[in-house]
Amino acid sequence: MASVFTSPVSVSVWAPTNPRLQRTPSTSTSMSVSLASSDSQPPSEDLDPETTATGDRSRKDRRRVVRLAWEKLVRWSRSWRSKTKIDVLERTNKVVVLGGGSFGTAMAAHVADRKAQLEVHMLVRDPQVCRSINENNFNCKYLPKHKLPENVIATTDAKSALLGADYCLHSVPVQFTSSFLEDIADYVDPCLPFISLSKGLELNTLRMMSQIIPQALRNPRQPFVALSGPSFALELMNKLPTAMVAASRDKRLANATQQLLASSHLRISTSSDVTGVEIAGALKNVLAIAAGIVVGMNLGNNSMAALVAQGCSEIRWLATKMGAKPTTITGLSGTGDIMLTCFVNLSRNRMVGVRLGLGEKLDDILSSMNQVAEGVSTAGAVIALAQKYNVKMPVLTAVARIIDNELTPKKAVLELMSLPQVEEV
């Protein structure tokens, strides 16, 4: 490379730009050395003052445009906040949380922090967890290192927990929801809004939570909201910035949920696409298992990117066939939740996949976990839905076959890579 920079050709690049740098026969060698030592940059005296001034003005103009754009955004934000109603939180006196798992606990703590006078009752089934919350303000089984607000109260009595509640946050795992709600249906007010935190599909019936809850409560008009998005309980407890989507066919209820839950560290967007939000939230858990298998088998970053991209397409194909909006699948509750669940170690479903990829048996994995990985149960339901709507879903189908012990992860990879080379859709 040195011969390139010290050749006469390199001199001729700069010499014509300034009369003072014209070569003479006696100075060609020294000139080439001088140019080589200056990293092929023109001398400072060659900079045109007019060009320099123009460049400075251009930079200042760009900065001004950015500053004005930011100031406009801030003004819009302040104007919007000044119009935002907070009467929902002011009118709310009691919130009940069904389920004492990690996310239910985190949401209970979040709501309790919103207003000190608010009563937040957690209906739990484990007496030890109940005592731990009431006596020490800790959930000894889930999130044991995080102290809960004083206004979080635990109980095992459904009647007292639901009595007088203004809102219900439902965090019972999908596969147990129907039987759980049927047992307490007599204590549920028919107008009590249910905000579902659970993600998945019921295995035998293929029902979503928006279908399970009203049917289990024997009330087709039970107010319903699906709350979903990229949100780990641990980070919510640590008050790290988080964003979620509240989806309801009742716009006023979606807005009320937004007012109830939105805070300085939790953004709540609203949507009317309940199907899209629920299907994305359910299927991303199955895709996370596939992503974990890639990690466990050490297949590399290329395969991870290809697998998740294919999985996103499969979720979009099925969801839109079921009536979902494509923008929901590419938004916060779709792609946002998929990225978090597939790429971060805190994901239970991803960890199941990692261990499957390492060669562990599914029964051993599940027996060692103290929380539910919804993707394991949802996988079979997803394939049934795919058949119902005539959608090809090779990645998610492979996960279901691995879970059913009909295919090894290694064999699944070979079969997926042997699929026909087709046009991307």
d(CA 195, CA 172): 11
**336 is written with which tokens?**
């946002």
CA distances, 109 to each of 118, 141, 196, 229, 332 (Å): 11, 15, 16, 18, 23
The pLDDT tens digits for 278-335 are 999 999 999 999 999 999 999 999 999 999 999 999 999 999 999 999 999 999 999 9
| Residues annotated as part of the active site | 284
Parallel/antiparallel/unpaired status of strands 194-196 and 167-170: parallel
Q: Higher pLDDT residue, 239 or 86? A: 239
Residue 143 CA to chain centroid, in angstroms?
20
d(CA 259, CA 115): 12
pLDDT in tens, 120-166: 999 999 999 999 999 999 999 999 999 999 999 999 999 999 999 99
pLDDT of residue 55: 74
The confidence band for 421, taking pLDDT boundaries of 50, 70 and 90, is confident
359: left (phi over 0), alpha (psi -120 to 50) or beta: left
**pLDDT category, 24, cuts 50, 70, 90?**
very low
Q: What is the mean pLDDT of residues 97-108?
A: 96
